[in-house]
């Protein structure tokens, strides 16, 4: 159980230069509002509010967001109103609490209700991303205490978490929250599969842990020898839900999974990242095609790191990730990592808003049919992503199974409509070929071609490409 003292420790460490009195005031207000209320787990309700705020503080969110985390259930579950919150804490904090209160009715029941609630959530996200970040922190603690909920409701909450909230966390680059939500939901949504994966890796993890410790000690010695400083070197165990999907792709063969445990090396700055990579490759031979530079070419959600898989003297392959402290915080907390320095309000109206946020807003406005709306959302937001490159080296994010035509329309409508062929990694491919992460895609166009082929509607999988093809055909 996380107490207010735990929250204060984080605040006094990470928020030493900021005025945290408003957070202390919010704690006392929420404690009074929730006095006498218990959760199904039997603990006082205020501990849920504290846990939510603690997660937000660990993510380094701004002070108003942490205060709103403490107050997020007050208008809905107590005798105090939103107006009371506004009178005591002001417009900004009350606005965040209002946003969370609107999302609190989100229920995974029935197509129409499901669609309307998704629309409501995405609209809230477009106005202020801090609302959805508070919701993710709230959902994390709800998942951690899900055992106290009746079975049918437990399954619904877990499904909703796996299908809606974890993908949103992923889109925001919040990988720590995403993996925690996935693993907590995995237990309830796919209990048999969860137990299979857990039992499969149990003995293997003991061996792998000893092995990665040996690699860690060798890396520490090599870095010391070359006078390269580091902040931390640690083993990272692959999450069970992520491992489950990888096993399905690898024919359920655990021996084909090289990154069950990876070594993560965190260093002071970018220059050190490349120095460490050179030292690692001097010691161990890298696998061909397994060196990935996400610092020079970050993923579209902002993820930056160096990845390499190497052959070691123990006759095994090890995956090593190298990143700076700043990159590590961004990888764990995503867009929330620097929220005290970035404006997350009105992101949907900004020119620099993420493409997927803009696309969600477009879908909100243009698609009124709820069946179509959900199909678009699941295609564009909730499918696993691949990362491919333009010939100039720009990174493009597409859903799994995307084709060169999806890529072409993602770049520009005219490039899609004028497409007459495609090269992937300098090889001619058919327009319905499935792209893979790391592919370099070059679209061949003919400017005399103005109209797309109607059969392309059977090839593309992204709603963006499909909509653009339909629009051209109508014209």
Q: How much is the average pLDDT of 283-299?
A: 89
Q: Which tens digit of pLDDT belongs to each residue from 2-59?
A: 999 999 999 999 888 889 999 999 999 999 999 999 888 888 999 999 999 999 999 8
Q: How much is the average pLDDT of 351-379?
A: 67
Band (pLDDT 50/70/90 cuts) for residue 374 is confident
Q: How many CB atoms lie within 10 A of CB 337?
A: 22
Band (pLDDT 50/70/90 cuts) for residue 238 is confident
Q: Distance (Å, rounded) from C-alpha 303 to C-alpha 146?
A: 30
Check if the beta carbon of residue 328 is closer than 8 Å to that of residue 294: no
The predicted pLDDT at position 351 comes to 54
The predicted pLDDT at position 32 comes to 95
Q: Token pair for residue 435?
A: 């792209």
Q: Which tens digit of pLDDT belongs to each residue from 158-190?
A: 988 887 888 888 877 788 899 999 999 999 999
Q: How much is the average pLDDT of 303-314?
A: 90
First-to-last alpha carbon distance for the chain, in angstroms, is 61
The predicted pLDDT at position 345 comes to 61
Q: Token pair for residue 26?
A: 């919010």
Q: Which residues are catalytic?
A: 76-77
List alpha helices for 300-341, DSSP H. 325-333
Q: Which tens digit of pLDDT belongs to each residue from 408-460?
A: 998 998 999 999 999 999 999 999 999 987 789 999 999 888 789 999 999 99
Strand 395-399 vs strand 419-424: parallel, antiparallel, or unpaired? unpaired
Domains of the chain: 4-188 (1.10.3210.10), 191-333 (3.30.460.10), 383-474 (3.10.20.30)
The predicted pLDDT at position 348 comes to 47
Band (pLDDT 50/70/90 cuts) for residue 143 is very high
Strands in 427-429's sheet, in edge-to-edge order, are 427-429, 419-424, 441-445
Band (pLDDT 50/70/90 cuts) for residue 384 is low
The percent of residues in the chain predicted with pLDDT above 90, rounded, is: 46
Q: Distance (Å, rounded) from C-alpha 71 to C-alpha 101?
A: 10
Q: How far is CA 394 from CA 37, 300, 397, 461, in A?
A: 53, 10, 10, 21
Q: Is the pLDDT of residue 264 over 70?
A: yes
Q: How much is the average pLDDT of 130-156?
A: 90
Please provide the average confidence, as pLDDT, over all residues in the chain: 86
Band (pLDDT 50/70/90 cuts) for residue 109 is low
Band (pLDDT 50/70/90 cuts) for residue 218 is very high
Q: Distance (Å, rounded) from C-alpha 378 to C-alpha 207?
A: 39
């Amino acid at each position: 159980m996380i107490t207010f003292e735990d929250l204060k420790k984080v605040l006094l460490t990470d928020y030493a230069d900021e005025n945290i009195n408003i957070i202390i005031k919010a704690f006392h207000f929420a404690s009074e509002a929730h006095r006498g209320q218990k959760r199904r787990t039997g603990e006082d309700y205020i501990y849920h509010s504290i846990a939510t705020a603690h997660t937000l503080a660990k993510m380094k969110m701004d002070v108003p967001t942490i205060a709103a985390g403490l107050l997020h259930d007050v208008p809905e579950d107590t005798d105090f109103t939103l107006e009371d919150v506004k009178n005591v804490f002001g417009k900004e904090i009350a606005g965040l609490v209002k946003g969370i209160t609107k999302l609190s009715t989100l229920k995974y029941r029935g197509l129409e209700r499901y669609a309307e609630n998704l629309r409501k959530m995405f609209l809230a996200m477009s106005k202020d991303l801090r609302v959805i970040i508070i919701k993710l922190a709230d959902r994390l603690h709800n998942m951690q205490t899900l055992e106290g909920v009746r079975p049918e409701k437990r399954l619904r909450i877990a499904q909703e978490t796996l299908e809606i909230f974890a993908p949103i966390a992923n889109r925001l680059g919040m990988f720590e929250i995403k993996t925690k939500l996935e693993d907590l939901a995995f237990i309830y949504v796919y209990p048999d599969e969860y137990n299979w994966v857990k039992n499969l890796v149990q003995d293997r993890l003991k061996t792998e842990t000893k092995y990665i410790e040996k690699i860690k000690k060798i890396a520490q010695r090599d870095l010391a020898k070359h006078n390269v400083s580091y902040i931390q070197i640690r083993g990272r165990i692959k999450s069970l839900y992520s491992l489950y999907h990888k096993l399905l792709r690898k024919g359920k063969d655990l021996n084909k999974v090289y990154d069950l445990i990876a070594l993560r090396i965190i260093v002071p700055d970018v220059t050190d990242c490349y120095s460490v990579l050179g030292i690692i490759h001097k010691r161990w031979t890298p696998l061909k095609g397994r060196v990935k530079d996400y610092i020079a070419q970050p993923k579209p959600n902002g993820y930056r790191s160096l990845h390499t898989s190497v052959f070691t003297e123990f006759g095994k392959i090890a995956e090593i990730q190298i990143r700076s402290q700043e990159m590590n915080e961004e990888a764990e907390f995503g867009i929330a990592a620097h929220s005290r320095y970035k404006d997350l309000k009105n992101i949907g109206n900004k020119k620099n808003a993420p493409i997927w946020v803009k696309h969600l807003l477009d879908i909100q406005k243009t698609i009124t049919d709820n069946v179509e709306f959900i199909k678009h959302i699941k295609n564009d937001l909730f499918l696993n992503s691949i990362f491919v490159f333009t010939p100039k080296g720009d990174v493009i994010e597409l859903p799994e199974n995307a084709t060169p035509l999806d890529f072409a329309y993602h770049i520009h409508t005219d490039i899609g409509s004028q497409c007459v062929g495609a090269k992937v990694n300098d090889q001619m491919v058919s327009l319905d070929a499935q792209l893979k992460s790391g592919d370099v895609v070059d679209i061949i166009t003919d400017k005399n071609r103005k109209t797309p082929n109607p059969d392309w509607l059977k090839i593309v999988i992204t709603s963006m490409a499909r909509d653009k093809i339909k629009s051209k055909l109508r014209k």
